[in-house]
Each structure stands twice: as structure tokens, then as C-alpha cells.
Structure 1
Amino acid sequence: MNSISFVEKQFTKTPVDFKEQFGAYNGATFGLRPTLKQSNYYRPHNKFDYADHLYFCGSSTHPGAGVPIVMQSAKLAVEELIKDDQTNA
């Protein structure tokens, strides 16, 4: 039995599709390249160093990719926001 016979609809996505449909930089589906200088602590931090009140979360920011890790990234960004809000109050 050929499993392909069960496929009802098939489509292909290219980097061009990701760039046009999702605004992904250069059509990158997974964000930053997984090099040592773009891994773990070296990813963009959750609080921007050069502007006030600008925070980031997601798979291309610290700590990294994967749904549980992206949720941790969101938590870190919110913690930075709350800390700044309390400092500026």
C-alpha cells in the first residue's frame, strides 16, 4: 500500500512564499542561523539595549526556538517590561 495515495491535497512552500505571506526576512522559516554566535545567550536579548521600552520575544530571540522556549522568551520579555515599569513609576 502506497501512503501517497491517501494524500488529498499537496502544496509546496518556498522561501519566497514565507517572505511574501509572513514577512519573514529573506524567507527564513526558522529565524537566525544556528551558529555559535547566534545561539543561547548570543541571540538578541528580550530587552533592546539602545532604546527604552522596546522588548522582543520569539524563536529568534533569547533563549531560542521551540514552543516551550518561545513561551519562556515571552515570560522574560514581560519580566523586563514589569521591571522597567516599576522603576519608572
Structure 2
Amino acid sequence: IIGWELFAQQAIRKGKYKALYIPKPLGSDKWQLFNIRTDPGETTDLADENPEVLAEMINYWSEYVAETGLVEVTDVFYDRVKMEYETKRLY
């Protein structure tokens, strides 16, 4: 199991599956699920078709956060980034 987080974007990978969370305004603001063996470009979200796999991946994410001590981005930081993005002030 491999997990990572960068600028509030979260991902966890196990075997052929990758679960990805990208908050708005840059993403869908919900967990997505991809089969990276058959869809390496991550173009087809399988979350609705495989809710049990997605739930398992989200559980792995929770374990990853607990094991690594990851500090998730707060809403205050996220709101500022969102505002700057919407007003096109990002660098």
C-alpha cells in the first residue's frame, strides 16, 4: 500500500487500484477509483461501479494517515487557496 498527499490532494494505491481525492475547485471533491492497470491515464472513475473497493481503499487511507501522522490541510488554508484560484491570483 502506497499513499501520498500534496496540497490537499490525497491518493492511496494498492495493487491495480488507486483511490484519489482532489478537492474543489480543482477536482470533484469526492473520492474517485481507478484501475491503473487497464486505465493508466485515470480516465474512467470506477467508484460508482465498485463501492466496496472504494470503501476498502478509503479505509487504507485512514490507516495510512494514522501510521504516518499526516496532518491534513485545514479548511482555513483550503478556503484561501480556493479564493486565490477563483480570483486567478495563484502563482
Q: Greater share of helix residues, 1 or 2?
A: 1
Q: Greater share of strand residues, 1 or 2?
A: 2
TM-score, normalised via structure 2 length:
0.30
User: Comparing both chains, which one has the higher relative contact order based on Cα–Cα distances under 8 Å and sequence gaps of 6 or more?
Assistant: 2
